[in-house]
Structure 1
Amino acid sequence: MPRRTATLLTSILLLIGALCAGFLTSVPYSELSPGPTVNTLGQYDGEPVLTIGGQETYDTSGHLNMTTVRVTGVDYEMNLLEAVYGWFADDAAVVPYETMYPDDVTADQVEEQNAEEFSASQESAKVAALEELGYEIPTQTIVASVIQDAPAHGKLHAGDAIVAVDGTRISDPEEVGEAVRKHEPGEDVVFTVVPAKQAEAAREAGEELPDGAGDTEDVTITTMKSPDDGRALVGIEAGVAHVFPFEIDIQLADVGGPSAGLMFALGLMDRLTPENLTGGEFVAGTGTIDDDGVVGAIGGVSMKTIAARNAGAEFFLTPEDNCATAAENPPDGLTLVSVGTLDDALDALTRIRQGDTDGLPLCAAR
């Protein structure tokens, strides 16, 4: 066999071997890629994303799209070739596996956490939007969770509304812990509660919680010593549930995490006000939101900007703490607008619908 032919054959065999090794070699990485986008003003799987009952709503046009990121699953084993491709691809990001799936967290726990964050973001979006529109949103202090085998386990339940502790009316979750810590470990503390189903029914009816005998239950719990600081505890986490003036339902399956909060809030405001917030323009965005309308950073922003542009968006509302990353390699034709609060986003939409885009606060790379 001529030397040239032998060299070529050897090179081909080595290449085939390297490719096979690449396919067979697993690496501890996950991949992020652009996910679907959904117009919060429209429908998803044939159902309205936002349903508002008992209140006048208005037709609207344009888009206020929330954006998502696709992530390889917890059981997916990426091979070396896929990782190398992802490192060089413009529409993918390869990150260490433990970034997405920490060793001390199971797949079910990751899914549960994402679902909880998504639910909390919906709640905060409703509060921020309605308070921006001038509504007052009363709250209930509730049992958010009960620690397994703690003194409260089996006596208090998630969703129970806490009316009083030791006869003192409760108006804030922090007051629950303060009341319990007034005791020494081993002493009894008395919780006055409305059971979860009754508390939820009161919220749905927009009613205040009862505080009279017969409507509430007194639950006595013996405190234990905290392993952290030695103070008294009963083993619950107190939280807040909001009492909304009318029904708001956000339907969006197969989505988790808190990053759609801003776009949900804007979608609600657009449906509840006669003015078309977008002026018919295609606006997308992302960002967490809290009850006060503060917009927070999210993960995977570069993949979300690609998803938005692929869907047709011309403007992207970007959390200000994500701006530098998003501006490193923005998709052509997509204007990245920096927002830090719900008011910032509303100001940006005003400029967009009025055509005053020169005055928009744009994201800039470092």
Structure 2
Amino acid sequence: MPAEFRVSRRAWTLAVCGVIVAALLAVAALVPLPFSIAVPGGTVNVLGNDRGKPVISISGTATRKTTGQLRMTTIVATGPDATIRLGDVLDGWFDEERAVLPRDSVYPVGDSVEEIERHNLADMRESQDDATAAALRYLNRSDDDIDVRLRLAHVGGPSAGLLFSLGIINKLDGDGRGGDLTGGRTIAGTGTIAPDGTVGPVGGVELKTLAARRDGATVFLVPKDECSEAKANRPEGLKLVPVTELKDAVSSLRALSTGKGEVPSC
């Protein structure tokens, strides 16, 4: 009798624990979580047009006709007021075309949707100014006689800086040897840019590589510090080229274009 009682008590304890765990999981499945779900976004060729208008317009000096493409990449994340639950998070973790990101890393804490949009547009404007400064500095050109205008509709943030700079350089100087910096290829990438040409990380590269390959890119320029993230989800047929400075990106593209010189890889 005592042995049977001990078995029954053990079974009862396990049953109670199971009910508690099930209840906790049920509650967890309903509680909103502080995450955003991101997916690959659109890409835009900065050497071409966006919504019918040139992305890069240059006046005050001669420009050259370009070939190939330089595509900036984006991700699309759920809004700051979206409700994300445990099921969404689990789905994102097991889907290579979705990423689960802390909401704080995507949207500043406490900001409204309107404030976030203003913040992103301000970042984009600053990035455009920095991209122009970095490109002209690389070319040893003065902005006194050169007017560069950058236009990209409905895209915020600083992550297009590197591609903007490369686009300006390509329109003004190409590969520096009479050819095109792209070598006729579709090149994609991401990265912030500082006026001195320093390339910085941006996040979301594991999704941006998917967007790049989807839209025909065979080469992806990635901030060196984010190589591991890019490699983790690299689609077949996409070469990852790490960069730390604008001159690194130009040198790598020149080597790819001419077939001469070493091209680093993540």
- Shorter-chain TM-score tier: 0.7 to 0.9
State how far apart, in whole Å, the 2-side matches of 1:115 and 1:352 are: 33
Deviations 1:205-258 (A, max 9, x none): xxxxxxxxxxxxxxxxxxxxxxxxxxxxxxxxxxxxxxx422211110111111
Paired position in structure 1 for 2:149: 249
* Kept after mapping to 2: 8 A contact 1:101/1:107: no
Counterpart pick for 1:75 among 81, 105, 128? 81
Say whether 1:98 aligns with 2:1. no
State how far apart, in whole Å, the 2-side matches of 1:247 and 1:55 are: 8
Paired position in structure 1 for 2:160: 260
| Unaligned stretches of 5+ residues in structure 2 | 1-25
* Kept after mapping to 2: 8 A contact 1:262/1:289: yes
- Secondary structure of 2:104 counterpart: helix
C-alpha RMSD over aligned residues: 2.0
- The percentage of aligned residue pairs carrying the same residue is 43
Deviation at residue 131 of structure 1 after TM alignment: 1.5
Paired position in structure 2 for 1:348: 252
Paired position in structure 2 for 1:362: 265
Paired residue type of 2:250: L
Paired residue type of 2:211: A
* Kept after mapping to 2: 8 A contact 1:22/1:81: no
Paired residue type of 2:214: N
- Secondary structure of 2:232 counterpart: coil
| Unaligned stretches of 5+ residues in structure 1 | 1-19, 138-243
Q: TM-score, normalised by structure 1?
A: 0.61
Deviation at residue 349 of structure 1 after TM alignment: 0.5
Say whether 1:276 aligns with 2:176. no
Paired residue type of 1:84: L
Paired residue type of 1:39: N
Write 1 or 2 for the structure with the bigger share of strand. 1
State how far apart, in whole Å, the 2-side matches of 1:69 and 1:245 are: 36
Say whether 1:127 aligns with 2:133. yes
Say whether 1:311 aligns with 2:215. yes
Deviations 1:271-297 (A, max 9, x none): 112531111011111111111111111
Paired residue type of 1:362: S
Deviation at residue 83 of structure 1 after TM alignment: 2.1
State how far apart, in whole Å, the 2-side matches of 1:101 and 1:129 are: 29
Paired position in structure 2 for 1:116: 122
* Kept after mapping to 2: 8 A contact 1:297/1:319: yes
Deviations 1:105-157 (A, max 9, x none): 333322222111111110011011111111135xxxxxxxxxxxxxxxxxxxx
State how far apart, in whole Å, the 2-side matches of 1:39 and 1:288 are: 17
* Kept after mapping to 1: 8 A contact 2:128/2:150: yes
State how far apart, in whole Å, the 2-side matches of 1:90 and 1:65 are: 22
State how far apart, in whole Å, the 2-side matches of 1:348 and 1:83 are: 38
- Secondary structure of 2:84 counterpart: coil
Deviation at residue 101 of structure 1 after TM alignment: 3.0
Counterpart pick for 1:39 among 27, 31, 45? 45
* Kept after mapping to 2: 8 A contact 1:118/1:258: yes
* Kept after mapping to 2: 8 A contact 1:92/1:303: yes
Say whether 1:54 aligns with 2:57. no
Write 1 or 2 for the structure with the bigger share of helix. 2
* Kept after mapping to 2: 8 A contact 1:315/1:335: yes
Question: Superposition pairs for residues 157-306 of structure 1, below 5 Å?
Answer: 244-273=144-173, 275-306=179-210
Q: TM-score, normalised by structure 2?
A: 0.83
* Kept after mapping to 1: 8 A contact 2:40/2:98: yes
| Cα distance change of structure 1 residues 356 and 34 upon mapping to structure 2, 3 Å threshold | farther
Deviation at residue 81 of structure 1 after TM alignment: 2.5
Paired residue type of 2:104: E
* Kept after mapping to 1: 8 A contact 2:51/2:153: no
Paired position in structure 2 for 1:331: 235
Deviation at residue 23 of structure 1 after TM alignment: 8.2
* Kept after mapping to 1: 8 A contact 2:37/2:78: yes
Paired residue type of 1:305: T
State how far apart, in whole Å, the 1-side matches of 2:30 and 2:211 are: 31
Paired residue type of 1:361: P
Larger CA deviation: 98-107 vs 335-344: 98-107
